[in-house]
Chains A and B, each alone.
Chain A
């Protein structure tokens, strides 16, 4: 049959759709730029509005924001610190639980599965409350008292759901490796442990990185939950600043300042995740 002698779409030669958006590196940069500009305009507008709405007209809104910005930024850095530490703790625990989820020992596998499901499907704030109020404020080991401050408990509280999510990421990554890999490793007399660590996990690792980064970005935003249980983080400081200034019209720009900090931190992570996903998809 001659090409063109048919109007059935499946019989026509394949033509890749024309890209309607800029591709390559341009697209993310452009998109990020637009989003950032939107934020900046919103921020500027809210500051201007606050300036106009002030009754009686007091100190300039910009001056107030500038005064508080370093402190809010410090609080934000504390959020980042908490996110690092809970991610680290959650990842270590989650990897072990995730591997246990594919164990051949049924009790181990089932309890790992149960733990994962429980903490994955629980509200983060509730888990945080449990960690805050159930853990003691100090430990006594061999007569030595070790303080257990609130921020450490908060890290544990946030690490619980992180560990459960990492566990699922690890399990999914391991399961995504074709069974032929297990089979050929077994035929070469590798033990199960060797197969896992030398053959399966190195391949699965690549596939786990994007969802793991995604989880980290979510965790970072969730760290503001700790302000609810009375820890001085970025959100607590912002709220305190608003109370101290007692200028309700500053509420929008002040919170927007904090939002901007989180956005500037999390957005690149999200872009990098997408880029990695795309790269790993191409090089299967």
Chain B
């Protein structure tokens, strides 16, 4: 998949970002650049700050030091237009977090209607199209409680896409799923990536990272230990720490 599409200008630029919760430093000087159309995977042991990094990128967690720009907009800014940022950045969580009192279709339609104030008929049409795209045309009227984990996660992806984001963040989206449903979610993400959506994934799916990512970052202890195209990082890791981690998980 790497280099199949032309990579564009940088969309997400993380430069020297530090984040601490109290005295505990979660991120220590993290920098990375993601270009338009690129698919980036962040791998690493639990607690290495991967999820925090994603939350920093869409401003859910404020950073302590450094700078993050998304489509040229500084995230670490008091004057930040959060609506504009979150229009540009969609995020999908491990626990799906669908709104349980709304149907699949309503879940997808809610934000465009109430946040973006778009026309209801148009939003509904788009929502139906998105749910069809993630393979759930027959589940429009189902409530999250009636859907499997994989189906819920695909609704969550459609819900994020409904905001027409420039970048999609995926935070261990398959970690709570069984192998079978995992597959359907990964295929959905793969399709997105193939269409040229800029994707940043925090994942433990090494096979997926190797196959789909254009670039892979390995993080440990709040630092980026090593980053390279997947063939290189998985095939010939330079750092001892990376090798030790890959030996354990592969």
Tell me whether A187 and B58 are in contact (CB under 8 A).
yes
Asked if A74 is at the interface of the complex by the 8 Å CB criterion, the answer is no
Residue of A whose beta carbon sits closest to that of B85: A189
Tell me whether B99 and A194 are in contact (CB under 8 A).
no
Asked if B60 is at the interface of the complex by the 8 Å CB criterion, the answer is yes
Asked if B48 is at the interface of the complex by the 8 Å CB criterion, the answer is no
Residues in B with CB closer than 8 Å to A187 are 58, 60, 86, 90-91, 160
Asked if B137 is at the interface of the complex by the 8 Å CB criterion, the answer is no
Nearest CB on A from B31, distance (A): 23
| Bound CA–CA A203/B156 (angstroms) | 18
Chain B: number of interface residues, binned into ranges:
20 to 34
Asked if A190 is at the interface of the complex by the 8 Å CB criterion, the answer is yes
Residues in A with CB closer than 8 Å to B114 are 190, 194, 198
Tell me whether A188 and B159 are in contact (CB under 8 A).
yes
Nearest CB on B from A206, distance (A): 8
| Bound CA–CA A203/B101 (angstroms) | 7
Asked if A180 is at the interface of the complex by the 8 Å CB criterion, the answer is yes
| Bound CA–CA A13/B87 (angstroms) | 51
| Bound CA–CA A32/B98 (angstroms) | 41
Residues in B with CB closer than 8 Å to A198 are 110, 114
| Chain A positions 176-205 with a Cβ under 8 Å from a chain B Cβ | 178, 180-181, 183-190, 194, 198-199, 202-203
| Bound CA–CA A194/B114 (angstroms) | 8
Given A186-B60, A187-B86, A189-B82, check contact A202 B101 (CB 8 Å). yes
Tell me whether A199 and B99 are in contact (CB under 8 A).
yes
Tell me whether B145 and A189 are in contact (CB under 8 A).
no
Tell me whether B101 and A184 are in contact (CB under 8 A).
no
Nearest CB on A from B130, distance (A): 14
Partner among A181, A183, A283, A284 whose Cβ is within 8 Å of the Cβ of B99: A181
| Bound CA–CA A169/B111 (angstroms) | 29
| Chain B positions 110-164 with a Cβ under 8 Å from a chain A Cβ | 110-111, 114-115, 145, 156, 159-160, 163
Asked if B67 is at the interface of the complex by the 8 Å CB criterion, the answer is no
| Bound CA–CA A223/B93 (angstroms) | 50
Given A190-B115, A194-B115, check contact A183 B93 (CB 8 Å). yes
| Bound CA–CA A189/B156 (angstroms) | 15
| Bound CA–CA A146/B156 (angstroms) | 57
In this complex, the member of A178, A184, A185, A186 whose beta carbon has the largest number of chain B beta carbons within 10 angstroms is A184
Residue of B whose beta carbon sits closest to that of A177: B100
Tell me whether A184 and B97 are in contact (CB under 8 A).
yes
Partner among B100, B101, B111 whose Cβ is within 8 Å of the Cβ of A190: B111
Asked if B190 is at the interface of the complex by the 8 Å CB criterion, the answer is no
Given A180-B93, A198-B110, check contact A189 B87 (CB 8 Å). yes
Residue of A whose beta carbon sits closest to that of B162: A188
In this complex, the member of B87, B95, B99 whose beta carbon has the largest number of chain A beta carbons within 10 angstroms is B99
| Bound CA–CA A31/B190 (angstroms) | 59
Asked if B249 is at the interface of the complex by the 8 Å CB criterion, the answer is no
Tell me whether B100 and A203 are in contact (CB under 8 A).
yes
Tell me whether A180 and B83 are in contact (CB under 8 A).
no
Nearest CB on A from B4, distance (A): 29
Tell me whether A189 and B86 are in contact (CB under 8 A).
yes
Residue of A whose beta carbon sits closest to that of B169: A187
Q: Mark A132-175, 1 if CB is under 8 A from B, else 0.
A: 00000000000000000000000000000000000000000000
Residues in B with CB closer than 8 Å to A178 are 95, 97
Residues in A with CB closer than 8 Å to B111 are 188-190
Q: Mark B84-109, 1 if CB is under 8 A from A, else 0.
A: 00110011010101111100000000
* 15 pairs, A vs B, C-beta closer than 8 Å: A180-B93, A181-B99, A183-B93, A183-B97, A184-B91, A184-B97, A186-B60, A188-B111, A188-B115, A188-B159, A189-B87, A194-B115, A203-B99, A203-B100, A284-B145
Apart from A190-B111, A198-B110, A203-B99, list 15 A-B contacts with CB within 8 A.
Answer: A180-B93, A180-B95, A181-B97, A181-B99, A183-B93, A184-B93, A184-B156, A185-B99, A187-B91, A188-B111, A189-B111, A194-B115, A203-B100, A283-B145, A284-B145
The interface of chain B, by Cβ under 8 A from chain A, is 58, 60, 82-83, 86-87, 90-91, 93, 95, 97-101, 110-111, 114-115, 145, 156, 159-160, 163
